[in-house]
Amino acid sequence: MSETVKLTRKDFVSDQMVRWCPGCGDYAILAQVQKVLPELGIPKEKFVMVSGIGCSSRFPYYMNTYGMHSIHGRAAPIATGLKIANPDLSVWVITGDGDALSIGGNHFIHLMRRNVDLNIILFNNRIYGLTKGQYSPTSPQGLKTKSSPMGSLEQPLNPIALAIGAEATFVARTVDTHLKHMGQVLLRAAAHKGTSFVEIYQNCVIFNDGTFEYATDPAKRVENTVELEHGKPLIFGKNRDKGIRLNGLEPEIVSLDTVEEKDLLVHNETASPSLAYLLSQMRYPQLPEPMGIFRCVEPPSYEKQIHDQVETAIGLKGKGDLHKLYYAIDTWEVPQKVEG
Amino acid sequence: MSETVKLTRKDFVSDQMVRWCPGCGDYAILAQVQKVLPELGIPKEKFVMVSGIGCSSRFPYYMNTYGMHSIHGRAAPIATGLKIANPDLSVWVITGDGDALSIGGNHFIHLMRRNVDLNIILFNNRIYGLTKGQYSPTSPQGLKTKSSPMGSLEQPLNPIALAIGAEATFVARTVDTHLKHMGQVLLRAAAHKGTSFVEIYQNCVIFNDGTFEYATDPAKRVENTVELEHGKPLIFGKNRDKGIRLNGLEPEIVSLDTVEEKDLLVHNETASPSLAYLLSQMRYPQLPEPMGIFRCVEPPSYEKQIHDQVETAIGLKGKGDLHKLYYAIDTWEVPQKVEG
Amino acid sequence: MADPNATYQDVQAVIIRFAGDSGDGMQLTGTQFTDTSAVYGNDISTFPDFPSEIRAPIGTLAGVSGFQINFSSEDILTPGDAPNVLVAMNPAALKANLDDLERGGTIILNTDAFTEGNLKKAGYHHNPLKDGTLSSYQLHEVPLTSLNRTALKEIGGLSSKEIDRCQNFFALGITFWLFDRPLNTSFKWIKEKFAKQPKIAQANQTALQAGYDYGNNVQIFQTRYHIKPAHLQPGGYRKITGNDALALGLVTAAQKAGKTLFYGSYPITPASDILHMLATLKHFDVRTFQAEDEISAIGAAIGAAFGGIFAVTGTSGPGIALKSEGINLAVMLELPLVIIDVQRGGPSTGLPTKTEQADLLQVMFGRHGESPVPIIAPATPSDCFNVAIEAFRLAVRAMTPVFILSDGYLANSTEPWLIPNPDDIPPIIIEHPTAPSTTEKFLPYKRIPETLGRSWSIPGTPGLEHRLGGLAKQPETGNVSYDPKDNEQMNRERADKVAKLADIIPEQTLIGPTSGKLLVVSWGSTYGSVRSAVKVLQAQGQTISHAHLRYLNPFPRNLPDLISGFEQVVVPEMNLGQMLFILRIHCKSHRNFIPISKLKGQPFTIKELVEKLGALLLVPQKVNGDNL
Amino acid sequence: MADPNATYQDVQAVIIRFAGDSGDGMQLTGTQFTDTSAVYGNDISTFPDFPSEIRAPIGTLAGVSGFQINFSSEDILTPGDAPNVLVAMNPAALKANLDDLERGGTIILNTDAFTEGNLKKAGYHHNPLKDGTLSSYQLHEVPLTSLNRTALKEIGGLSSKEIDRCQNFFALGITFWLFDRPLNTSFKWIKEKFAKQPKIAQANQTALQAGYDYGNNVQIFQTRYHIKPAHLQPGGYRKITGNDALALGLVTAAQKAGKTLFYGSYPITPASDILHMLATLKHFDVRTFQAEDEISAIGAAIGAAFGGIFAVTGTSGPGIALKSEGINLAVMLELPLVIIDVQRGGPSTGLPTKTEQADLLQVMFGRHGESPVPIIAPATPSDCFNVAIEAFRLAVRAMTPVFILSDGYLANSTEPWLIPNPDDIPPIIIEHPTAPSTTEKFLPYKRIPETLGRSWSIPGTPGLEHRLGGLAKQPETGNVSYDPKDNEQMNRERADKVAKLADIIPEQTLIGPTSGKLLVVSWGSTYGSVRSAVKVLQAQGQTISHAHLRYLNPFPRNLPDLISGFEQVVVPEMNLGQMLFILRIHCKSHRNFIPISKLKGQPFTIKELVEKLGALLLVPQKVNGDNL
Ligand SMILES: Cc1ncc(C[n+]2csc(CCOP(=O)(O)OP(=O)(O)O)c2C)c(N)n1
Ligand SMILES: Cc1ncc(C[n+]2csc(CCOP(=O)(O)OP(=O)(O)O)c2C)c(N)n1
Ligand code: SF4
Ligand code: SF4
Ligand SMILES: [Mg+2]
Ligand SMILES: [Mg+2]
């Protein structure tokens, strides 16, 4: 089975009933992942989906791959251990805004800086779905929910900014309704050697319907988002007639009627992270929100370095020998007693 | 005692023996805090020092104020609860690079975004002191320690960048050997209403001696660091003859012989966080490391908003009345049975 | 309202279960039926049962949501065993619930939903309406969807989705007719709920009335049932769930102590509703903190307790696991704190929306080192109110964290609550120390002889500056001490002060003879079924006694004596024998403990307990203690 | 080497303690003495004792660091009770250790350090050298600092700090002379250690020799002592601590299974050294992961176990608290994993550098729901090696996490280890399933009848794709199931498979008669003192038996029977009676359990046990089970 049989979407559909609410954005993401994985040329048995707890975290059950639905917030370390154990696997972490950024926040930042070769997909619906609708770390300030009847008081986390603040090597954003874009981003994430972090704006029809409508509705999307392309200036709008220019460190919207393309901010995935951070600060409604790959650089991945150290150690000391190991410090011999 | 008796350094010295290693940078920080607190005009009984676990976290024992030496990594939530309970207190969180950024990383980022009115002092010695010298999340890659005999593999966290990635409202940096600077920064931190985060480069003589020598040695400091002053250009060097200019988004060192001051990068504490992030990326040896206040903005603090909601609720519903509360939903009366 | 076409029959109690898709509004329908019955004067007890998915695909077994109500003219203690009536909105609801229905019970179902597609989704290969599956029940086939549409078509301006959403009220109307309930409570509720959407209000009211009229007009029901009001203790009543009762109890405790209430929590089923309820009570100076995780929640509660206010943190089993290091700090600091564990099915994520009692040993022992913590367990939803207050009394007396051990069943079940007069609840008196005399040194860990607690000295008080910490301590001063003797002494003092709470804990009572062959010992939410089962057996003339424990650590002083009067002690628990385990240690001289274990995510039924206890009464167990 | 001026005396065993400032190198001095004695052929046992601060201020009691060695010509099992000889480098070291010294014991002290300032720092109001404090000891006053300076002044090129740092070797030289030890082992060590600093090497060697010569030349010692080599089992030996033995055992287990070893850990005293040791063994394909916290460490270990390699996570009590949610997941997933708890004084941060056994109930019960986990406890530092291998055998057999319960005493103590031949250690055979036959469906949770474990199927294997999860499961398929029966069945199966490990656990043995008046039951690190105390009593002709438990869950099959043969069962533990608690449950028919509790952060001494057990032999306890 590990010969290169051409895999299809169907190969990735498990026999378990999908149990999300009708209309949930999770369906589109599932479908897109099932579409992208067969395109990677990786045998099916090499894929592992690891998730935490949340609506989104039921994902592995629906994929006919290896998988683990673990505990809340802990998918990142579990996936890290798995990848260290077997770097051959293609490991995907499926998580939610609560799972990754609330209870799992510590693992999230440490995964970023370690740069383990994993792919994280964060289903950001700005709400706790599975526990029936409390505000999450990405909920907008003022959001009224069951646990914030007078409005949430907390400044939301910006997942992209946090990832960049934590030394992420691959950071991207897409939306549940833009299938083509999601597909492209997922392909790039899969190709990146190191931690690939993808935030997906996902609609929760039940508890936070329409929270990202400005970016998910195709008509509004073109006005309220801008697609990042490496080496290209930031242009957006239905007629692609608007661009982003830097005024000092402040991005501003300019009309291409009056400003030339060459004066626009040009995207560079491999630039210093200051650019990626700056882009993360472009927020609706003041500015169009960037979509696509914010940053992509490739220092060696963590598990690779672990393996390199193992190799180096073997090179230096030879393959471990238990006998030698036991005798590695001062030893002494107690001779056979000669009874007399 | 809560009359405005003039407090002095001595009032803040507890009767407990200070048990850090001779030469540890922690001594200087303790002395400086004991010097600054009496200057704040706050009665002594209002101060509370809350720490986690680590060498640095023994701090509260040495202060003759209220204090708590809690558990590893958890000072931030404890201080948050305390401040919510009593917003009148001046609460200081004392933590280490392991305490705040390793086990306590999640609380750290959430404290930043919530903006509780606390002052955090992070003693960054780039090592786990108390557990006898393992690498920490701020240790440079390649550092050989007990737990990384072939060199640490992890990209270090940049505490300033992480804080900014997590929506911090006050971010500053200073060093244990520069007492005057430390004092100024601590005063500013105390004045800020909201979470004030201060990173202090601290020398661990036993396990990581000299790790920040470039910034702590007075002679080297002037060449390798640049002091941030609001509204002023970034100028440094023994003869203050060098400056920082932006080349696109890349800071570069220029000589004031050839470049005019007006072309230098001017610091602005209240600018978009992109500037603070960019400054956090200036690292030795490529660039001088900024010292002082990276960012200072004052949205309302978390505990104040909680209290505001309480006030609003009381305004709307009147002060809570248990009788009304019990009867707030549909009730019915079972009448006294008339036996007959 | 009497209907000449139907005969009336008086019955003592009826158990009805509403079942449909997660989106069908069954929880709401059940709640409306409950409210009406409660206001009508019946004793009531309810139990909702929903899947852990929010809204699994329509029509599937996974998506079925149910709500059971037991309403009665007599005192009842549980939502009942087998329903007498099942209202099934679709084939999946029928399939998922049929096994539970009593033989010969009544089924009301929506025939419009029994389409080929829906039958398939529910896993029916044949239509149960046609293949005899339902022949031993009283089946009432109602084309609910179409009847409802017809009834509402006059209103106009409603989408067909909006119209179909009223179906549940149509079904409710039918049951109201069948059990002769007044409509006004629901009418009122609809009016208030949809005050801003008058069309929707009108639609729901119309559907309700139409359902009622349908019952009246269409002669599918031979009999209407009449359940008289119950002889409840006189007074004001309301319906209450365990979670709401906890929230009200906590607020009451704080008010009675003149304290601000702090609640730090990270959402988790089935505890989240406590947070939701408390978040609406800010006018009582309740400060809720939705933490980033459970570790932060306990941490903030510790900070708040240090700050001198009433601090609570609530969660379920997985959250307690995460909080255990923090709880241990609170034990060491000796700060008063209440920790709520609303237990659910475990281990791990287990059965998150179901009930279990298997966290007892975790809360008792799940911390490193010697770490004694008092534990109280409420017996019924309304008892949660009392337990919340009691927990604070213990916490401030002994200066210690205290556990409340509730569970998913108590959390979501409702029963009528005899509303107390808040003025009758005794105050909680706390004296925080103030500036010490100049001659004496302030000793934060000096023990109060009567309680062995320490004083609760709080930051902001001039002259009492001191440091708390998790390191081993010197007695009285609380200074860090590595002296072996100090460590042993402080460990023993912490154990003693918790044990000493038994001084103020009421003695254990029982119903039935005080000695004899069989004593049933229960704790927590099994109270209702165990007490009911024992009553049944006692009514049959059997000699059996029942002691229900509310105080699990320390136990009431007289417990060992009380137990020693019986030949056999049976302990029914929703776990594999955890209380039995602790009893065996505590009541060392008793040897014949017998477990009744259930780990099915469901409460005991009265019937199964009657059977199991009855069997024990017939065949006494060997007195050798080998029954675990 | 014989010295005409001194008389020789043969003694069986000597206990010597080196004490000084944390910076004085006492751990090193002790280690050198140990190594020399071990190589010389004595049986040895050592115990370091250091403060939790890294280097508290010089000269203070808080900064005193000590190291005790028991060396003997006979078999010894503990580092000894009261030292016979105390080497004190300063007044604080004298003050902190004097109480422990045997009456009449020998003191060697550095008079140069007895300055006014140092006396004050140590809290001495009078100079103990002058006020008669030491009159009942054999006092040897040595101006160590000045003698050492004189000895080293010839070398040149050394700072005075560097010279003074050699003091400890001067002191070591004196003790070497006193106990007639050869110098060559230390000479060799110095040479290797300071290979790159020849001056420093020369200085230390000179100091050592000078100290030795001082003993020889200055007639302050009347007698030299001679301790013959012990009659140890023939073979190769090395010194080993419990932590090192665990590390070697884990690597051995992995090699014997042909597996990569994964160790995920967050540093914590006293477990960190396991991580440090394993980090140096990368050439055995050991992959260490220093996690961001304990939760991540257990998570990564679970991931690694899923990945099919040998996964271990190690910590101390506070870390276990944090890991409990993760451990519970491993229980539910049924993955093999080893979890090490090196216990320290608790609760909370407690006494982090001291020892205790109070995590037993935590590892047994500290998880929500029913969550059975096997537990093994090593008895001695070298037993840690065997236990590590055994833990993996159990883990892969039952497909379960397994606890190893070590403690701070085992972790840091050393004893000679009879080095095994790795080829004699039986392999651990694991068969991972491969592609299933096309006719059968792969069932990840199908049980193997012999063990009740499941197969260990690993990602990367074609055709076995499956999903694990923390939700309740259907038997065999492992699919999510909310079916009440499934949940109960899986809970019982998990309990049964752990209980079934008793099939392969050796029967419990004891020393002494198999029935009688008194049985002592111990577990873990108390082995040495308990066995020694029992030997003493047996030698006195007392009838007493001793069973030491290594398997704590499940217990050996014969344990209840074995225990039932005795009138009284005494359980000495470094806690408030945790094992006694479990024994009482497990051995229900036995009623007379007696605790001996110690919570002082220190191991039992043989003497205190001899006294307490002796007293019990004189005054038998009432057989009413009321002794806890
Ligand atoms: C330790 C623990 N705490 C809390 C929970 C309850 N819980 C389950 S999912 C969840 C949040 C889900 O939000 P998110 O990650 O955004 O996922 P979504 O449901 O929105 O997809 C919470 C709080 C849990 N399962 N475990
Ligand atoms: C739950 C828990 N895990 C681990 C430890 C062990 N521990 C104590 S302090 C520390 C790290 C200290 O490093 P840092 O915060 O940088 O403080 P420093 O000692 O360097 O000042 C660790 C790992 C602990 N006390 N508790
Ligand atoms: S609750 Fe929201 S996120 Fe969860 S399945 Fe339903 S729509 Fe999706
Ligand atoms: S170990 Fe390092 S950080 Fe800790 S007290 Fe000593 S010098 Fe300071
Ligand atoms: Mg979400
Ligand atoms: Mg540090």
User: Domain containing A125: what range?
Assistant: 9-216
Judge whether A281 lies within some domain.
Answer: no
The Cα of C301 is separated from the nearest Cα of chain B by a number of Å equal to 6
CB–CB contacts below 8 A, A to D: 223
Confidence (pLDDT) at C4: 54
SS3 call for B19: coil
Which atom of ligand 1 is least distant from the CA of A72?
Answer: 26
Alpha helices in C334-436 (DSSP H): 360-365, 383-398, 408-412
C-alpha span between C228 and D429 (Å, rounded): 71
Domain total for chain B? Answer: 1
Confidence (pLDDT) at D440: 81
Angle at D452 between CA D450 and CA D453, to 5 degrees: 110
Stretch C204-217: mean pLDDT: 94
Q: What are the beta bridge partners of residue C620?
A: none
**Residue given tokens 């639609």 in the structure block:** C203
Which atom of ligand 1 is least distant from the CA of A56?
Answer: 21
CATH number at residue A68: 3.40.50.970
Strands (E), A158-269: 170-175, 196-201, 225-227, 235-236, 242-247, 250-255
- pLDDT band of B336, cuts 50, 70, 90: confident
Answer yes or no: is pLDDT of C215 > 60.
Answer: yes
Confidence (pLDDT) at D620: 54
Judge whether A122 lies within some domain.
Answer: yes
Quote the DSSP letter at residue D288. E
Answer yes or no: is pLDDT of A12 > 70.
Answer: yes
Confidence (pLDDT) at B222: 96
Answer yes or no: is pLDDT of B340 > 50.
Answer: no
Q: Which ligand is in closest contact with the Cα of C315?
A: 1
b/e D264-277 (16+ beta carbons within 10 angstroms → b)? bbbbbbbbbbbbbb
The CA distances from residue C483 to B14, B307, C479, C494, D373, in Å, are: 21, 44, 11, 17, 34
Contact call for residues C404 and C262 (beta carbons, < 8 A): no
Tokens of C604: 């005991």
Find the B208 Cα to ligand 4 centroid distance in Å. Answer: 9
For chain C, state the CA radius of gyration.
Answer: 27
- Are A129 and C293 inside 8 Å of each other by CB? no
Q: Which ligand is in closest contact with the Cα of A131?
A: 1
Find the B90 Cα to ligand 4 centroid distance in Å. Answer: 27
- Are C318 and A72 inside 8 Å of each other by CB? yes
Confidence (pLDDT) at D624: 41
Judge whether B191 lies within some domain.
Answer: yes
* Direct distance between the N- and C-terminal alpha carbons of chain B, in angstroms, rounded to an integer: 70
Judge whether A48 lies within some domain.
Answer: yes
Count of CB atoms situated within 10 Å of the CB of A316: 10
Stretch B80-106: mean pLDDT: 98
Which atom of ligand 3 is least distant from the CA of A19?
Answer: 5
- Are B103 and D294 inside 8 Å of each other by CB? yes
Low-confidence ranges of chain D (pLDDT < 70): 1-6, 619-628
Answer yes or no: is the C-beta of B125 below 6 A from any ligand 4 atom.
yes
Judge whether A86 lies within some domain.
Answer: yes
- Are D279 and B146 inside 8 Å of each other by CB? yes
Confidence (pLDDT) at D156: 85
- Are C303 and B78 inside 8 Å of each other by CB? yes
Residue (of C87, C47, C89) closest to C67 by Cα position? C47
Out of C333, C351, C589, the one facing D482 most closely (by C-beta) is C351
Task: Give, for ligand 3, the residue of C52, C53, C55, C60 to mutate: max count of ligand atoms closer than 8 Å to Cβ.
Answer: C55
Judge whether B119 lies within some domain.
Answer: yes
Find the B19 Cα to ligand 2 centroid distance in Å. Answer: 16
Residue ranges of B 5-44 with Cβ closer than 8 A to chain C = 14, 16, 43-44
Transcribe A221-243 into DSSP letters.
Answer: HHHHEEE--TTSB-EESTTS-EE
- pLDDT band of B280, cuts 50, 70, 90: very high
Answer yes or no: is the C-beta of C268 below 6 A from any ligand 1 atom.
yes
At residue A20, φ and ψ (nearest 5 deg) are: -80, 165
Judge whether A314 lies within some domain.
Answer: no
**Which chains border D (3 or more CB–CB pairs < 8 Å)?**
A, B, C
Per residue in A274-313, pLDDT tens? Answer: 999 999 999 999 999 999 999 999 999 999 999 999 999 9
Judge whether A329 lies within some domain.
Answer: no
C-alpha span between D610 and D626 (Å, rounded): 23
Residue scoring higher pLDDT (B293 or C620): B293
Per residue in B130-153, pLDDT tens? Answer: 999 999 999 999 999 999 999 999
Answer yes or no: is pLDDT of C156 > 90.
Answer: no
Confidence (pLDDT) at D275: 98
Q: Which ligand is in closest contact with the Cα of B24?
A: 4
Nearest residue of chain C to residue A147 (CA atoms): C276
Q: Which of A230-239, B7-16, C218-227, D187-196 has the lowest mean pLDDT?
A: C218-227
The Cα of B254 is separated from the nearest Cα of chain D by a number of Å equal to 39
- Are A65 and D465 inside 8 Å of each other by CB? yes
Stretch C593-600: mean pLDDT: 94
Answer yes or no: is pLDDT of C585 > 50.
Answer: yes
pTM listed for this prediction: 0.96
A250 interface with B at CB cutoff 8 Å: yes
Q: Which of A115-129, A295-309, C142-156, D250-264 has the lowest mean pLDDT?
A: C142-156
Tokens of D81: 């009770």
Confidence (pLDDT) at C623: 42
- pLDDT band of C253, cuts 50, 70, 90: very high
Find the C54 Cα to ligand 1 centroid distance in Å. Answer: 12
Which atom of ligand 2 is least distant from the CA of B130?
Answer: 19
Answer yes or no: is the C-beta of A145 below 6 A from any ligand 1 atom.
no
Q: Rounded to a whole number, what is the largest CA-CA distance in chain D? A: 92
Count of CB atoms situated within 10 Å of the CB of B11: 15
* CA-proximal residue: ligand 1, atom 5 (nearest): C268
- pLDDT band of A340, cuts 50, 70, 90: very low
Instruction: Determine the residue type at B57.
Output: S
SS3 call for A9: helix
Answer yes or no: is pLDDT of C620 > 60.
Answer: no
Confidence (pLDDT) at C187: 95
Question: Quick check: bond before D554 cis, omega within 30?
Answer: yes
* CA-proximal residue: ligand 2, atom 13 (nearest): B128
Confidence (pLDDT) at D318: 98
Answer yes or no: is the C-beta of A56 below 6 A from any ligand 1 atom.
yes
Contact call for residues C14 and C75 (beta carbons, < 8 A): no
- Are D600 and C484 inside 8 Å of each other by CB? yes
Confidence (pLDDT) at C3: 52
Residue B240 backbone class (left: φ over 0; alpha: ψ -120 to 50; beta: rest): left
- Are D589 and C469 inside 8 Å of each other by CB? no
